[in-house]
Structure 1
Amino acid sequence: MALEIRHWRAFATAAETLHFGLAAERLGLTQPALSQLIKTLEDAFNVRLFDRSRRRVSLTEAGRTMLPEAQAVLSQSRRAERLGLVAGRSSSRTLAIGYVGSAALHPLFTRLIGRLTAIRPELILRLDQSAVTKQIAQVRDHNLDIGIIRSPMPALDPAIATLSLEREAMVLAIARNNIHAAGEGPCDLSDFSEEPFLQYRQQEGGGLYLLTQSACERAGFQPQISQTVPQIATMLALVGAGLGVALVPESASRLGMPGVVCRALRDPVVTDFNLIYRRADTAPALREALKAARSIHKASL
């Protein structure tokens, strides 16, 4: 029987865990199926790869010798998959776009997706809402063509370029029955130092969580976090329910959430609306998207 990637993967996973049950679970196999894959490999080379004579599993000398080779086979397979993705992207008319949830509220997002949708059927869009750090990794690994994110951003790989589309002010969302809701004009963030804050999910090195923390610290206080929320719509609903206040992008006020008032800040807090992509990517679909984004940005100035 010809050996396949699945045989090498079964052996490498069992060798790295030294536990057949755990290895089978990681691979989504039954333990007998895993054992059969490894037996096929052993029969092909007429060697024993594991010593299972005692309670614990260990590699034989042959197993220790073959493990680096198995890992090299798997590494080469993954590299071939990545190169295949790159080759496919270069001629594909499919455009994979990631975006953070708050980006979908911004008028530029609506205009960009509308412009790209109008190119159909020549251009097929695949949209995926995901966190900033996940988008950066997926753009780097060719699983996304474009990411739409907000600043502050984590450090980016030099291979990833950024196109800044617009700078947006953050506003303070307050329950309508809050004592500060009736004020006119911009408010001071420091006036809310004793209020509970609704906060975003924390992300490594960036995101609106970090922006909120930094803004409060500049105003002279640490926010008292009452709830951590993944979505702005949920955050505004909780603000309206009186669970706290929240810093949100100005475009979030478009939701018109009942019981919520959004007030500008005297000392502005801003977030950049950014598009990220692979700097060296020359795929026609990506280049069309960048052209559309630049055109929309220029028209909004």
Structure 2
Amino acid sequence: MENLPKELKEFLHFEDLTNWPELLPDEDEFQMNIKPGVFSSYESTVQYIHENVPFQMEILDDVEQKISEFVSRLERYSSKILSDKPRESKINEHQINTSYIPAFLTQMKDSDALLTHPSRKLSEELSFARTGKTVESERFPGFKPFEFTELPGHTEAIQLLSLIWRTQKFDLQYQITLKKLVLSTSSGAILQDAFWWFFLSKFQPSQEDQDHLFSRIADSFVTLFMTCPPPVLDSLLEVYPGYLAQAVFAIFYKSYPESLNRFGDEFKNELTELFSLWITGMNSFIVHSNLESVL
């Protein structure tokens, strides 16, 4: 035991080796021409992979397109086997319930899925936007750390975002990936909390509740952007502020028909400027008519 090698040279001599580790007999056939330092940092590794192992985003778009087509067909045929019995609406932590559809969605005649889905009957029973409730009479029930506050009029965030998506005409790449991001659970969570944050700031100030909502909105933004592929990020930042502003405006406009005089140009300006500053840090010049394109 005392004669065991203590240094590399001794080890090589002890094992009768020239180099260690030695290449396998067929390993010298490979061309290992990677320059020193290529994998020395995260940035250099990403750059090397980007240049030598390119990935075509179009592949994801094609897959998403096929999935979208299958989902559309599934929704059409599901009406023939699924019960139309309404379920109680519950919203738990990081879970947006989509069992209800606002009645104003029944006005959309261009969707076969909506025309055949059993929830269409339920949406008519809700009589959404005909309650006569004013925005001043609304009350925020208080922030709950593990539960999202339901939107007024039984509005479901994902359903509303889907409706607004159909009204848009984006001249951008990666449409399928963008749609997936905009209609994601994280995006629905942002809409839920962003509506109530803006409601509180305008009609029922509560700094404590607003701070809690803002912190959760920030967490949801991080989740959304972390799941966004780098090539799509610029497109998402370009469309999302206006998209979110339209969704929040639609909730106010449809939920409080007796307060429409409160939702004029100044109101629209505040919405577009707020979400543009939140997401991009820049002022917004979105045309106000875009806010009414879904109404």
Q: TM-score range by the shorter chain?
A: under 0.3
> TM-score, normalized by length of structure 2?
0.25
**Greater relative contact order (CA < 8 Å, ≥ 6 in sequence):** 1
Which one has the bigger strand percentage?
1
Larger radius of gyration: 2
> TM-score, normalized by length of structure 1?
0.25
Which one has the bigger helix percentage?
2
